[in-house]
Amino acid sequence: MSLAAPFEHLRALAGRKATGELIACDQIVEVHVFLHQGRVAWGTSNRSSKVLNDYLIEVANLDHDALDDVAAECRRTGARFGETVVAWGLAQAEHVAAALRAEISDALAGLTELVGAPVVFLPRDEVFDERWTFSIDECLEGVPDIGAGMCLARRIVELVPGHHWVAGASPRGSLVNEGAVVDARKADFLVPLTDSLTRTSASEVILRAPGRGVVGRAAGNDQWVYAAFASTSGLGAMSAAMRSLGQATSSVDRLKPVIPGRGDDRLLEPIDLALDATGELRAGYVIDRVGAISGRGPLRDPAVAAVALELTTFLDVDLGPAIPIDEHELSQPTNSITARLDACWLCGTRARSGHAVWLAVVTEESAGFAAALLATVVRRIEVLARTTGS
């Protein structure tokens, strides 16, 4: 069972030319999609279970009694409904194909609306008539361009207060915007930022401007959602909602690898003290302006250090075009970032001395603690940097 976005799960199965039944459901919608060598052979949804019958009645002039007889025969013999309709001479093959496609499109419409719903795929050795199988894109022509990203964006608009705007990706790659503030600059800001963030190793990135917040990049085959909030109070709810999409896949087109240089270990004293004071903190890093890095702690891992270097670039992103920032906030501390990795959570910001400071914790519950601890560690590093001339 998976909690990835069901529609993206279906696309992945189709890409592997799988044969079997995909089942996805939440408390309201239940969808079944049958695949034959990666093509959709059948689909049903409890939202509208009579699409096939209604289509045949309308187009082929069949009556309910005839279709009931076909259904009874199929239950008795295990024959396919569409094949039986044609074999009995009740409708032409093209009419059945069009009816099947309408039924499948209705099922896919239900599937695209499920966000974070349980998904299970049951491999089956069934054989379907290839004349009546379809590619996913063929069936999407009549389906609204919505999906996990867009549905989640709408849910955030409805459920999380204090947002400026929310944006997400649809199945066909459209940029979908929802929110109370219409600002043409946000699209120009989002596109390059999204392109860069989706090439990092982080599965979720939260960027905070002074007193504001942007949550970025959620899961499910690089589906993503962004939101800008009037305060940081909405970040927790948004972050939890994003994780309902599952674990993000790292893009093949990764950012150019960074090669860390050796940093100044004299600046690690505040991190040493923090490591001694709490077991929740597992590592800390200090990065100077030229990318030299030094670290402490049992999780002082080269892979984690490399991600810290990747994300340090985003500490200097001007979030002004995306989030209205009051004049009195411009003098407050710079952006901070919380990022989720396979191994841990990273929290980082840039000190006034120019050094980037990152702390790593291994549990989601400790991410907020690390962000609070970060402010104390940064202040001590700033003092130490002035006294040592680093």
pLDDT at 2: 40
How many contiguous H segments (helices) and E segments (strands) does the chain have? Answer: 12, 15
- pLDDT for 219 equals 43
Q: How many other CB atoms are there within 10 angstroms of residue 185's CB atom?
A: 10
The answer to whether position 221 is within a domain reads: yes
For residue 273, tell me if it sits in a domain: yes
- pLDDT, residue 181, reads 43
Q: Which of 94, 124, 142 is the last residue of a domain?
A: 142
Claim to verify: residue 137 and residue 152 sit in the same structural domain: no
In a domain, 92, yes or no: yes
Q: Same structural domain for residues 62 and 110?
A: yes
| Sheet of strand 204-208: strand arrangement | 175-178, 163-169, 225-229, 213-216, 204-208, 336-340, 345-350, 356-361, 281-287, 292-296, 261-262
Q: Say if residue 83 is in the same domain as residue 137.
A: yes
According to the model, what pLDDT value does residue 250 have? Answer: 45
In terms of Cβ atoms closer than 10 Å to its own Cβ (0-12, 13-18, 19+), residue 69 is middle
For residues 306-320, b (16+ Cβ closer than 10 Å) or e, as one string?
bbbbbbbebbebebe
Q: Over the stretch 108-166, which tens digit does the pLDDT of each residue have? A: 888 877 766 788 999 988 878 777 888 888 887 767 666 556 666 766 777 677 777 77
* 176 and 120 in a common domain: no
H or E element in which residue 237 lies: helix 235-243
Does a structural domain hold residue 251?
A: no
Tokens of 22: 């995909």
Measure CA of the first residue to CA of the last residue in the chain; give whole Å: 52
Q: How many residues does the chain have?
A: 390
- Residue 127 and residue 53 in one domain: yes
pLDDT of amino acid 241 = 60
Same domain, 135 and 156: no
The whole-number pLDDT of residue 377 equals: 93
Note the pLDDT of residue 144.
64
Please, what are the averages of pLDDT over each run of 10 residues along the chain (390 residues)? 62 88 86 92 78 76 82 84 84 83 84 76 84 84 64 69 69 52 49 63 74 56 62 63 50 53 81 89 91 89 86 80 62 71 87 92 78 89 83
What token pair was written down for 376?
């104390």
Quick one: 135 and 174 in the same domain? Answer: no
218 — phi, psi (to 5°)?
A: -115, 170
Note whether 84 and 126 are same-domain residues.
yes
Same domain, 177 and 135: no
Closest of 308, 313, 311 to residue 297, by C-alpha:
308
- Enclosing domain of residue 108: 6-142
Is residue 225 assigned to a domain?
yes
Residue 207 lies in a domain: yes
Phi, psi angles (nearest 5°) of residue 347: -125, 130
Structural domain ending residue among the three candidates 211, 243, 275: 243
Give the Cβ contact number of residue 280 at 10 Å. Answer: 16
pTM more than 0.75? no
Say whether both 43 and 124 belong to one domain. Answer: yes
Inter-residue contact 106 to 72 (CB < 8 Å)? no
Which of 142, 158, 183 corresponds to the end of one domain?
142
Contact 103, 51 (CB under 8 A): yes
User: Is 72 in the same domain as 127?
Assistant: yes
Structure token pair of residue 163: 């947002």
Q: Does 265 reside within a domain? A: yes
Specify the number of domains making up the chain.
3
- C-alpha of 271 from chain center: 33
We report the CATH number of the domain holding residue 178 as: 3.30.450.30
How far, in Å, CA of 265 to CA of 268, rounded?
Answer: 5
Please indicate, yes or no, whether residues 25 and 135 belong to a single structural domain of this protein: yes
Q: Is residue 255 part of a domain?
A: no
